[in-house]
Amino acid sequence: MPSLFDKVTAGDLHLANRIVMAPLTRNRSPHAIPLPLTATYYTQRASAGLIITEATAITQQGQGYSDVPGLYGTEQLDGWKKVTHDVHAAGGKIVVQLWHVGRVSHTSLQPDNGAPVAPSAITAKTKTVLIKDGQPAFVETSAPRALRAEELPTLVHSYQTAARNAVETAGFDGVEIHAANGYLLDQFLKTGANQRTDDYGGSIENRARLMLEVTRAVTSAVGGGRTGIRLSPVTKSNDIHDADPQPLFDHVVRELASMNLAYIHIIEGDTGGARALTERPFDYAALKAAYRQAGGKGAWMVNNGYDQHMAETAIQEGDDLVAFGKLYIANPDLVARLKQGGPFNAGNQKTWYGGGAEGFTDYPTL
């Protein structure tokens, strides 16, 4: 019977256990540059089988929050170089999450204070986090403009460049494409945000096109075995919804099956919230079966509200990896704590976004 503590291979990634640190936005990178404190934070958590970094912007246009890191400047890549060096020295594996927020942004964060970009000019009824005087302030997102079709090749290319720089320059073991939680690629996927009438809107095939083009471009730069992708079929995050998510995501994973990805990362239910939504039913077993039937060999990573018992059951029943979010904020030695069945530190939500070492690098180990 496989256990959470057994090693596993995900594409080219050889992982010491099945316990993953989920991507967690922390807003502690002024000017989008990860600080030495960020290296301390991730290195404290290096006993995870895999660390997925906080969402990291591929371009300035992809920025939607204050003080989140990027991958598009030399100093940003240098900041990450220290993170990957220190995590590797501690025996860990780390991939960076490639992020473009699309419409979930604010003009004050955009190049020339312009409008954020989106599949269609539909404002998300959601808030973003701007850091003011070191404190998080939640503000309404700005009205977006629809991307022109001729802008899309450049956009795809910017994912590819970020992926290449992440692996070749910053030293990451791989990348995770953020296609979840109502950000750009999820906006293209879903009917609630995509009303395009060109090849990137309308049918399921058209709405999935940008995400699949991005994934192909990223895998051609760094290899499928170093590429994972995060999906959230029914999340409510950032005012996103789709009229019929099951056939949409079944199509998506069937197309991903041939790309030899390291892993597929699924958020079950509403991100950080309910795992089952009566108004948004979804069959995750059918999704996984669609991927396997299409020949998909990547590791299957599950996430959202897993406790120890649920995680052990998931691995015993054939999932390959479990990602923990809130537990990882408060428990740097989560692997050791799970191994002995707890106890677990309680986290402090007030220090999730912004600030310094408090609530970041000061949680005690056993």
- CA 275, CA 277: separation in Å to the nearest integer? 7
> If binding is defined by CB under 6 A, does position 360 make contact with ligand 8OZ?
no
Least separation, in Å, of the C-beta of 104 and ligand 8OZ? Answer: 8
- Write out the binding residues for ligand 8OZ, residues 54-93 only, by CB under 6 A: 55, 65
Give, for 188, the enclosing helix (H) or strand (E): helix 184-189
CA distance 95 to 85: 12
Question: Which residues inside 24-43 make contact with ligand 8OZ, applying CB under 6 A?
Answer: 25
Euclidean distance between CA atoms 28 and 19, whole angstroms: 24
CA dihedral 306, 307, 311, 313 (to 10 degrees): -110
How far apart are the C-alpha atoms of 138 and 132, rounded to whole Å? 10
Q: Which is nearer to ligand 8OZ, 181 or 215 (CB)?
A: 181
3-state helix, strand, coil in the chain (%, to 5): 35, 15, 45
Q: Which helix (H) or strand (E) holds 8?
A: strand 8-10
Work out how close the CB of 59 gets to ligand 8OZ at its nearest, in angstroms, rounded to a whole number. Answer: 16
Q: How far is the CB of 344 from ligand 8OZ (least distance, A)?
A: 21
Rg for the chain, CA atoms, rounded: 19
Mark 90-129 with x for binding to ligand 8OZ (rule: CB under 6 A) and - for no binding.
---------------------------------------x
Residue with Cβ nearer ligand 8OZ (17 or 25): 25
| Cβ closest to ligand 8OZ, residue 127 vs residue 339 | 127
What is the spatial distance between Cα 199 and Cα 76, in angstroms, rounded to a whole number?
Answer: 34
**By C-beta, is 26 or 337 nearer to ligand 8OZ?**
26
CA-CA distance, 344 to 279, in Å (whole number)? 33
Q: Is 237 in the site for ligand 8OZ (CB under 6 A)?
A: yes
Show the site string, 152-191: x = touches ligand 8OZ by CB under 6 A, - = not.
-----------------------------x----------
Q: How far is the CB of 27 from ligand 8OZ (least distance, A)?
A: 8
Q: How far is the CB of 339 from ligand 8OZ (least distance, A)?
A: 28
Distance CA 203, CA 188 (A): 11
State which of positions 196-225 bind ligand 8OZ (CB under 6 A): none
Do residues 30 and 77 make contact, with C-beta atoms less than 8 angstroms apart?
A: no
Cβ(33)–Cβ(73) below 8 Å: yes
Among 84, 141, 271, 331, binds ligand 8OZ (CB under 6 A): 271
Q: How far is the CB of 204 from ligand 8OZ (least distance, A)?
A: 23
State the amino acid at position 103 in one-letter form: R
CA 57, 39, 321: angle at the middle one, nearest 5?
A: 70
Residue with tokens 């669609």: 290
- Point out the catalytic residue in the list 183, 263, 353, 363: 183
What is the CA 156 to chain-centroid distance, rounded?
17
The count of chain residues that interact with ligand 8OZ, using the rule CB under 6 A, is 7
106: left (phi over 0), alpha (psi -120 to 50) or beta: beta
Cβ neighbours, 10 Å, residue 76: 21
Instruction: Decide if 183 is catalytic.
Output: yes
CB 271 → ligand 8OZ: shortest distance, Å? 6
Nearer to ligand 8OZ, 201 or 233 (CB): 233
Touching ligand 8OZ, residues 317-346 (CB under 6 A): none
Q: Which is nearer to ligand 8OZ, 302 or 338 (CB)?
A: 302
Nearer residue to ligand 8OZ within complex by CB, 142 or 271: 271
Residues that bind ligand 8OZ in the complex, under the rule CB under 6 A: 25, 55, 65, 129, 181, 237, 271
Active site residues: 183
